[in-house]
Each structure stands twice: as C-alpha cells, then as structure tokens.
Amino acid sequence: MKHVILAFAVLLVPSFVLAADSPKKVLLIAGTKSHGPGEHEYEKGARLLAHCINTSPNLKGFKAEVHTDGWPKDEKLFDNAATVLLFSDGSDRDETAHPLLREKRLAAMAKLMERGVGFVAIHYTVFVPTKKGGEEFLDWCGGYFDYESGAKPRGWFSKIKTCTGKIDLASPKHPVSRGLKPFELREEFYYNMRLAPAERSLSPILSATLPDEKEPQVVAWAVERKNGGRGFGYTGGHFHSNWENENVRRMVLNALVWTAHGEVPEGGVKSSLPETEKKPSAPANNAGPNSDTDLDYRPADPRLKAILIDRSPDESFVSIKADTMGRLFVGGREALFVYEPDDKGGYKARRELFRFPPDAWVAGIEVYGDR
C-alpha cells in the first residue's frame, strides 16, 4: 500500500510543477479596421500591447498572443487564457460589426466569464445594445456605452467628445493605478457611461475633466465579479498615437495583469514601444517632413510657390474652398476651419467655425457669399 501511495505522489509532482511554471496567457483580440489611418488601429494596438507584455523588464510569468478579425480561428485557444482583451468596432451602426454579437460568441464568452477569466474592453468595443450585451458588459467589465435609452431622436444616453482632457486618478490605491500620474490627453472620450453600481465592486480608475462638462467623467474603471473574475473598461483608444503616452500604456498593461489575477508590479508594468512604433529622428541640417516649417512635397511646376499653411498630427483635412477675399475654408474630420490672410502674404492661425456631430462623415464643403 505504501508503494502505491508513493507512486501516486510521484505522478502528481510533475503535473503540479508544470502548472506552476506555465505563464499566464493574455489573449488580445483585434477587430477588423473600419476607420482611417491612425484611428481605431485595432491590430496595431493589440500587437503593441503584446510586445509590451512579452518584453517588459519587470513582468514575469505572462505571455501575450494576438488574434485578428475579431475572434480566434480555433476557440480552443481560449481554454487556458487568463484574461481576454477585445479591441474592435461597436454595434451602433451595424450589430454584426461587433465581434461578440455574431454567431454564438456572446454565449462562448459567457462560459469564459463563468470560469473566472478576465475581460478587458477598449474604446468602440463598449458599444453594445442594452438588451444584447449591456447586462453582460455591466457584469463582465463594469460598463458599456448606452446609445439606445437617451432622448429622441438620436437616443444616446452616453456621450462622445474629441478634446483635450485633464486626467486624474480616481482610485490611486487600486492595483491598476500603480505607477500612474495625472496627465493631459487629446482623445475621443466616451463618457456618461452606463456603469455598474459601486456595490457591485466597481472602482473608477481615471476621471477626465472635459470642456463644457461641470463634473469629471469616468473614462476607465475596474470591476470584480461575484465569482472572483475581474474586468476593466477604457473608453479611450481612438488615436493610435496615444499608446505613446506611458500613462495610457501602463494603465492597460496593469489592467491585463490584474484581470489575469497576477500581481501588478510596484510602480506598474514597465514597457517600451516596438521599433516599428518609434518615430524617426530628423536628419541633421534637414528637418524634412518632421519639420513645422518645411513642406512634405514640392510643386511640379517650378513657377508655382507652395506655402505651408498648417500641419496637424491628429486632424485629417479632407476638403478646401477659397472665397474672393482670399480666405480658405477647410473641412477637417471634426470641424470646419477658416484661414484668413494676414498682411505679410501668409495666413493667420486657423479659427474653428463649426464642430461636426460625433457621428458625421464629411466629404466636402460649399461656401456661399463673402461674409
């Protein structure tokens, strides 16, 4: 009998050691891209985060992998996942654009959540219908964007604003907040979200002070589910360039570790950008296209003189009109601007005339009259 017990114990030891040595798997799922360059870069963002996890100098025992097109090709890949991040389109325009609302994926994710797997939702991913995903998101990650129960005709309860916000730590002692400091960020913020009540163990992580809003708005939060599972939501993520901000990057990396039931390092997860994300330095004595004064191109006709009027790292100018007074009316992705001639043969700084609604798509502009 002693020999049997000893043999059984020997069989158990290797299995236990392997389980202890296995890294926690972080599954990063990127949806199909639907916006212009630099916006909603789901795959690029997921690969950047995976690089940060896999190369972090102070994070051990984690392995990140990326899957594209909104869902792994083999659902068995979920079997040993410690946490899942989804960065994808939402459902307000087309329900099937949201990866979780196709086929039986919502039910598949529910089984993972029952098992205590972590869940992280970024930006547009939090757009789900109230009756098909809303309650699940409240439980799984603590909140969602409500675009159905607001005032008619639009029906949005939650709000969107692209602006520069002052970001503060709402729960500085929470593990997800480790290493974070107050900062400023230009972002397409979603706010006035449908959030789980505090009694459901929701902790606001970031609050943003936004123009024309009296109260700070929660834009990132964490939740602990009744079964011990953990979730996290962040409404930023519109501009890919914001991953360069160490606070943004560190917060999401901390959240991935925390939702996977790992120990967030003191001072937060340290990371560096992939080489492909690093901006090239300007050549000596030749500013090139990185300059604020030089052009990126030259006119084909040498008789023409090109004047740089404006350059913006975060605004796409899509249309232009001129009037008989020499004013230039420029339609950007977010607003209509005017450039007025100065007395030196150039133009004054742009002035905003009109801001487009958040869901508008501008293809061109018309200017009537000279006033």
- What is the C-alpha separation between 194 and 197, in angstroms, rounded? 9
CATH number of 2-277: 3.40.50.880
3-state secondary structure of 48: helix
**Confidence (pLDDT) at 16:** 29
Q: How many other CB atoms sit within 10 Å of the CB of residue 233?
A: 31
Helices 246-259, 42-55: axis angle to 10 degrees equals 70
User: Are the C-beta atoms of 64 and 9 separated by less than 8 Å?
Assistant: no
- Name the residue ranges covered by the structural domains of the chain: 2-277, 288-355
- What dihedral angle (degrees, nearest 10) is formed by the CA atoms of 52, 56, 61, 62? 0
Check whether 202 has a pLDDT greater than 70: yes
Determine the Cα–Cα distance for residues 317 and 338; give it in Å rounded to an integer: 12
Handedness of CA 148, 153, 154, 159 (dihedral sign): negative
* Per-residue model confidence (pLDDT) at position 20: 53
What does the pLDDT read at residue 1? 45
pLDDT tens digits for range 293-339: 555 566 666 667 676 777 665 566 667 888 877 888 888 767 788 88
Percentage of the residues of the chain whose pLDDT score is greater than 70: 80
| Cα 315-318-322 angle, rounded to 5 deg | 110
